[in-house]
Chains A and B, each alone.
Chain A
Amino acid sequence: MLSEAGSEMTVASPSEKRRGVAGRGRSFRRVLPYIEAGALVVALVLPFVLGDRTDLVTLATNVLILSMLAISFDLCWGLAGIMSFGQALFFGVAGYAIALVGRDLDFSDAWATLPLAMLVGLLLSGLFAAFLLLGRKTPSIIFVAFGTLTGSYAAERLVSGWQYVGAGNGLSSVKLLKLGAYEFVEGDTFYFLALGLLLLVYLAARYFKQSQLGLVLAGMRQNEERLAFLGYRVQLFKAVLFSFAGLVAGLGGALYSYHQGFIGPGNMGPGLSTTAVIYCLLGGSGTLIGPIFGTATVEVLSYALSDIDAIRHIWPVVLGLVLLLVVMFQPRGIVGLFVSDRERIGSYGRRRSSG
């Protein structure tokens, strides 16, 4: 029963399918590029609008950093159809890695630590991909989901009991990120650093999605077995995407650690992992820009409402309700309201004739 589980994320009813097809034909207009450009413009002018409100700039930077985690999950689920309940694992471990490098080696130069964090994320997720995805037998999607969940849970438990890395208290006063003699503190410059890196990550993910690789992935989400019969090594594609997602999460984790000046066991546990799921599904999985919207919505709302005592206590309940409603009634998320299915799934680059 479990092995035949389809990995396409939505179970579209006939009426929903028709709505998607309506975008076909001459009148087909691409909306996504405008949304992306609009988001970039907003992100560029935001610090100037916020001006002196440093707390809001910090919040915005946080949104950008967590967006990397959300995109990392979107790469797994929205593109490769891997349900990863452990994306925070790579985020957290990379965050710990650079915090330890800062503490023990007294080193925090961006040109080395950020690539190091990406490498840590890449290697760890590559290891997980090799164990969970590759092998003679095709793993069930449930097995992969539990494997990632277990990894994240076990890591949180392990780190909470390990004195060298600060046990339950985590590592605080992480050394500031440096570039040459310049130190990045919270504020506009850190914001633009995060924005620049997020833009790079986004463009890379977008390139992945719209290349021929993205076409294969779309086919895999539709019908994995058929793709396998066509000769594609489906699991290998998944493993590649999963490793790349780990790299993105690692970069996000390093920035988070530098920005907050703190990293704790909770930053690698199932709690943050599932928050990433909420970011992505709320925004609209598979669109890449959706997870960023989802992150911004959740984080801004939780910041705005945190002053009201009554709401702060039930905020996780509200998040749960939001997830339930999205899963039940709007599996395409916020972006799905504006973007047709045809565009959401994407169009793909030409095949090179040289190949």
Chain B
Amino acid sequence: MGDEVKLAFDLLAFISVMVLIVLGLGIIASMMGIFNFAHGEFVLLGAYTVYLFQDSGLSAWAGILAAPVVLAVVGLVLERLVIRRFYAAPIVAMLGTYAIGLMIRETVRALLGGQYKSINEPLSGAFVVFGLNFSVWRTVIVLTTILVIAGTWFFLSRTSVGLQVRGALENPNLARACGISTSKLYAATFAFGAALAGLAGALIVPLYQLSADIGTRFLVQAFLSVMLGGVGTFEGPVLGAAAVGGMAAGLPWIVIPVLADPLVFVIALAFVKFRPQGFITQGRL
């Protein structure tokens, strides 16, 4: 019994990490129809912000709070300068964002000197329920993920800005005709997606050591999650991330670990192949 609960908790924690990473990616893909290859590097920048704060003797909490803000600014600047040119051409967007990601990743690699840095968990240790140990920090991640999902959902479905976002997603031309500035909305969406990536990076960096490749290890899984869940919905990417994260964390218990990763990819791709629209049909954000 104890082992199953532990396993379920670990699965939940990993799924939360995936959902945090995928949410920003999914929102950008749904709104603008582009897949942001630099998303993994936004996660990296979030993690790096926490490292900088810790390195200069400040509280890690300040770093975790600062990361989304820093990334929102970075996202906004990039959107205004570069990304907005790519909205009409998803393939060019892929190449352009890949180039941006490459530049960020290699710059951070040079700054870190190719080393691994470990970040301490701001809340370390474990708490005991029914004689089972649960890591405090993983619990924080799970709770934050739930809060972020609930907050994003509330924002999209219950506020007037959220209504504009849904309108622009449904029919950009009509939204513009109604006086909604889709250009501003796109910039804000991109900044928001980047901020989510920054938050994800800040939260997960204590679990994984900080290295330049921290973002790329999740990127392929994140893309598959978005495709699996379906572009153009809010629930889709979340469900997709849950499915991919669950498989990625659960399969190593069933097959040998080396085969687990490729197997997740094959299952996800095969599903998308036969159901290209994903779990949820388009246009219900």
User: A143 to chain B: which residues have CB within 8 Å?
Assistant: 227, 272-273, 276
- A2–B273 Cα gap in the complex (Å)? 15
- A2–B29 Cα gap in the complex (Å)? 9
User: B33 to chain A: which residues have CB within 8 Å?
Assistant: 1-2, 5
Contact residues of A between 121 and 172, Cβ < 8 Å to B: 131-132, 135, 137, 139-143, 145-147, 149-151, 153-155, 157-158, 161-162
Q: Is B10 an interface residue (CB 8 A)?
A: no
Q: Is B251 an interface residue (CB 8 A)?
A: no
Binds B, one of A43-51, A312-320, A342-350: A312-320
Known A-B contacts: A142-B227, A158-B258, A317-B106. Give 16 more (CB < 8 A): A1-B232, A131-B269, A131-B273, A140-B276, A143-B227, A143-B276, A145-B94, A146-B227, A157-B258, A157-B262, A274-B102, A313-B110, A317-B107, A323-B99, A327-B99, A328-B96
**CB–CB B91/A147 < 8 A:** no
**A163 CB, min distance to chain B CBs, angstroms:** 10
User: A141 to chain B: which residues have CB within 8 Å?
Assistant: 90-91
**B6 CB, min distance to chain A CBs, angstroms:** 25
Residue pairs across A and B with Cβ atoms less than 8 A apart, 26 shown, are A1-B33, A1-B232, A2-B90, A5-B91, A9-B91, A11-B92, A83-B94, A137-B273, A139-B276, A140-B276, A141-B91, A142-B90, A142-B94, A143-B272, A145-B94, A149-B223, A153-B265, A154-B265, A161-B257, A161-B258, A314-B107, A316-B102, A320-B106, A323-B95, A323-B98, A324-B103
Contact of B91 among A7, A150, A328 (CB under 8 A): A7
Contact of B220 among A132, A142, A153, A161 (CB under 8 A): A153
- A161–B103 Cα gap in the complex (Å)? 28
Considering the complex, give the chain B residue whose CB is closest to the CB of A278: B99
Which bucket holds chain A's interface residue count?
35 or more
User: B146 to chain A: which residues have CB within 8 Å?
Assistant: none
**CB–CB B85/A328 < 8 A:** yes
Contact residues of A between 273 and 322, Cβ < 8 Å to B: 274, 277, 281, 313-314, 316-317, 319-321
User: What does DSSP make chain B's interface, helix, strand, loop or mixed?
Assistant: helix
Name A's B-contacting residues (CB within 8 A).
1-2, 5-7, 9, 11, 83, 131-132, 135, 137, 139-143, 145-147, 149-151, 153-155, 157-158, 161-162, 274, 277, 281, 313-314, 316-317, 319-321, 323-324, 327-328, 331
- A323–B92 Cα gap in the complex (Å)? 11
Q: How many residues on the B side are at the interface (Cβ–Cβ under 8 A)? A: 40
- A143–B89 Cα gap in the complex (Å)? 15
Considering the complex, give the chain A residue whose CB is closest to the CB of B282: A1
User: A155 to chain B: which residues have CB within 8 Å?
Assistant: 262
Name B's A-contacting residues (CB within 8 A).
33, 35, 82, 85, 88-92, 94-96, 98-103, 105-107, 110, 220, 223-224, 227, 231-232, 257-259, 261-262, 265-266, 269, 272-274, 276
